[in-house]
């Protein structure tokens, strides 16, 4: 009997498995670009359950699963019994007996884990408060495509201690690269969630964090589900912005990434996100190919 595998966070996987998924994403991308039809999911169904808003994750999972021959159900909590009285676990028990794969975007990782424990089919993390593994797989794929191996590289994180940062940290631990973190005022790092290897350093200014970096990355001032920390309530001293002066401290060929959605004039200037070093559109587009490889890994292994 094979063990049911989910895709809930990067550290559930070995570096070899993650590398093989990334390599497979490259093959699937070339296949798609050449027009070759590859449909191993004919007759299969993906259910998507979003408890938070999404553009990229929704479209890339739906497009990806459809391109591989399957069909997709987008379960809106407002139109299902979830919003009123049916538990998340009972929803998992029922839905997983009718579909082949489930992608969930929700709040606490524990909520996702309970859902996955009750599911009889693989569950993929489409973002939780704590982790965003599909995003960082897409980012690693994009870095490799544009600059080669990330091993030994320096990634500058300018921003909040959020799901994207912690997933970058997990990736740095697994893939052997370094994260230089700028800690704005009010930034509270959770020491219990830091990797055991010293694959990171903290800096007091964004310029210092960016110095010599191969990649500079940031995220929104306020993550979804943290509405009490609205931008307008954030003290000026706790705001951050990746601008040209910060990019100039990085290597001359450094990339800029942002998981998106972006807020020009807040965490990043238009000059940077729309400038020559920005990789954000490839980064978003590559979610499609990487998630196809993740879904194929879960359904075809």
Residue 25 CB, nearest approach to ligand NVA (Å): 19
Which residue in 6, 56, 132, 289 is the catalytic one?
132
Reading the block at residue 297, the tokens are 């890994």
* 224 binding ligand NVA? (CB under 6 A): yes
Q: Which residues pair with 217 in a beta bridge?
A: 157, 257
Binding mask 240-259 for ligand NVA (x = CB under 6 A): -------------------x
Residue 103 CA to its chain's centroid (Å): 13
Which residue in 134, 258, 259, 289 is the catalytic one?
259
* 294 binding ligand CP? (CB under 6 A): no
Length of the chain: 301
* 220 binding ligand NVA? (CB under 6 A): yes
The question of whether 132 is a catalytic residue gets the answer yes
Report DSSP state, residue 35: T
Which residue in 6, 56, 234, 287 is the catalytic one?
287
DSSP 117-175: HH-SS-EEES--SS--HHHHHHHHHHHHHHH---TT-EEEEES-SSHHHHHHHHHHHHH
The question of whether 219 is a catalytic residue gets the answer yes
Tokens 């049911």 appear where? 4
* 164 binding ligand NVA? (CB under 6 A): yes
* Piece of 4-12, 52-60, 168-176, 233-241 that binds ligand CP (CB under 6 A): 52-60
* 127 binding ligand CP? (CB under 6 A): yes
Residue from 91, 96, 129, 135 touching ligand CP (CB under 6 A): that is 135
Residue 55's binding partner, choosing from ligand NVA, ligand CP, none, with beta-carbon cut-off 5 to 8 A by kind? Answer: ligand CP
Residue from 56, 234, 249, 251 touching ligand CP (CB under 6 A): that is 56
CA nearest 144: which of 120, 166, 177? 177
Binding mask 70-89 for ligand CP (x = CB under 6 A): --------------------
- Classified as helix, coil or strand, 264 is strand
Q: What is the footprint of ligand NVA within residues 125-144 (CB under 6 A)?
A: 127
Question: Alpha-carbon distance 198 to 186, whole Å?
Answer: 23
Strands (DSSP E) contained in the chain are 45-50, 71-75, 101-105, 123-125, 154-158, 178-182, 200-203, 215-218, 255-258
Contact, 60 vs 291, CB < 8 A? Answer: yes
* 162 binding ligand NVA? (CB under 6 A): yes
- Classified as helix, coil or strand, 292 is helix
Neighbours of 231 (CB within 10 A): 12
Interacting residues with ligand NVA (CB under 6 A): 127, 162-164, 219-220, 223-224, 259
Could you give the residue numbers annotated as active site?
A: 105, 132, 135, 219, 259, 287
Interacting residues with ligand CP (CB under 6 A): 54-57, 127, 135, 259-260
């Amino acid at each position: 009997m094979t063990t049911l595998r989910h895709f809930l966070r990067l550290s559930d996987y070995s570096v070899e498995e993650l590398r093989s998924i990334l390599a497979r994403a490259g093959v699937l991308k070339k296949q798609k670009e050449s027009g070759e039809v590859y449909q191993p999911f004919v007759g299969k169904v993906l259910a998507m359950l979003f408890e938070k808003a999404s553009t990229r994750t929704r479209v890339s999972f739906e497009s990806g699963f459809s391109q591989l021959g399957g069909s997709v159900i987008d379960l809106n909590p407002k139109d299902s019994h979830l919003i009123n009285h049916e538990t998340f676990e009972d929803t998992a028990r029922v839905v997983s007996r009718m579909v082949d794969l489930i992608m969930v975007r929700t709040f606490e990782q524990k909520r996702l884990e309970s859902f996955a424990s009750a599911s009889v089919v693989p569950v993929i993390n489409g973002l939780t408060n704590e982790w965003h593994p599909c995003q960082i797989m897409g980012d690693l794929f994009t870095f490799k495509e544009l600059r080669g191996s990330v091993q030994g590289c320096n990634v500058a994180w300018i921003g909040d201690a959020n799901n994207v940062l912690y997933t970058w940290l997990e990736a740095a631990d697994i893939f052997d690269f370094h994260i230089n973190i700028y800690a704005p005022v009010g930034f509270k790092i959770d020491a219990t969630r830091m990797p055991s290897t010293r694959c990171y350093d903290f800096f007091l200014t964004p310029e210092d964090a960016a110095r010599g970096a191969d990649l500079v990355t940031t995220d929104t001032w306020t993550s979804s589900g943290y509405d009490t920390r609205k931008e307008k309530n954030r003290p000026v001293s706790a705001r951050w912005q990746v601008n040209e002066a910060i990019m100039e401290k990085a290597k001359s060929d450094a990339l800029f990434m942002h998981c998106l959605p972006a807020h020009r004039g807040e965490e990043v200037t238009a000059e940077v996100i729309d400038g020559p070093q920005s990789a954000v559109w490839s980064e978003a587009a590559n979610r499609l190919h990487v998630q196809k490889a993740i879904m194929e890994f879960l359904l075809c292994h």
